[in-house]
């Protein structure tokens, strides 16, 4: 006797519809694994101090801020990130180093030295694969 759940999955697969097979959370991170192999991970967190004061031409950069994914990717993911600071007086960009399967590195870029900021928040969304 086939269970109702297994029967439902067989019907869904017969129509070629992808579906979530696992989802979870780890700290600020959330993730979803899809039957097709797609993996989505996202997070938003408010963190402590961050300094942007290293001159780099006409811009100023901060140190790389590493963040470990709760689930490692099979391939290199596509990552978008945003850093929100406790001030609106400066133009701030977010640079992402996504050439890793288990973590992402993010740093802030500004038009002026911002010194140490007392609070900032990070928003990260990464999409890739958990299987070939």
pLDDT tens across the length of the chain (132 residues): 778 878 887 888 888 889 999 999 999 999 999 999 999 999 998 877 888 889 999 888 988 989 999 999 999 999 999 887 766 556 678 889 989 999 999 998 888 887 777 777 889 999 999 999
Separation of alpha carbons 125 and 40, rounded Å: 7
Residues 6+ apart with CB under 8 A from 73: 39, 101, 102, 126, 128, 129, 130
* Token code pair at residue 31: 């993730």
What pTM does this model have?
0.83
Q: Which residue segments constitute the domains of the chain, with CATH numbers given?
A: 4-129 (2.60.40.3940)
């Amino acid at each position: 006797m086939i269970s109702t759940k297994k029967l439902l999955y067989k019907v869904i697969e017969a129509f070629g519809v992808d579906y979530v097979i696992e989802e979870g959370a780890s700290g600020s991170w959330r993730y979803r694994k899809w039957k097709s192999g797609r993996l989505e991970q996202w997070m938003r967190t408010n963190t402590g101090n961050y300094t942007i004061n290293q001159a780099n031409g006409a811009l100023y950069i901060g140190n790389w801020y590493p963040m470990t994914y709760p689930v490692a990717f099979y391939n290199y993911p596509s990552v978008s990130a945003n850093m929100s600071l406790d001030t609106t007086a400066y133009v701030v960009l977010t640079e992402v180093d996504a050439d890793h399967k288990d973590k992402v590195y993010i740093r802030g870029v500004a038009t002026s030295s911002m010194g140490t900021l007392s609070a900032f928040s990070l928003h990260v969304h990464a999409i890739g694969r958990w299987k070939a």
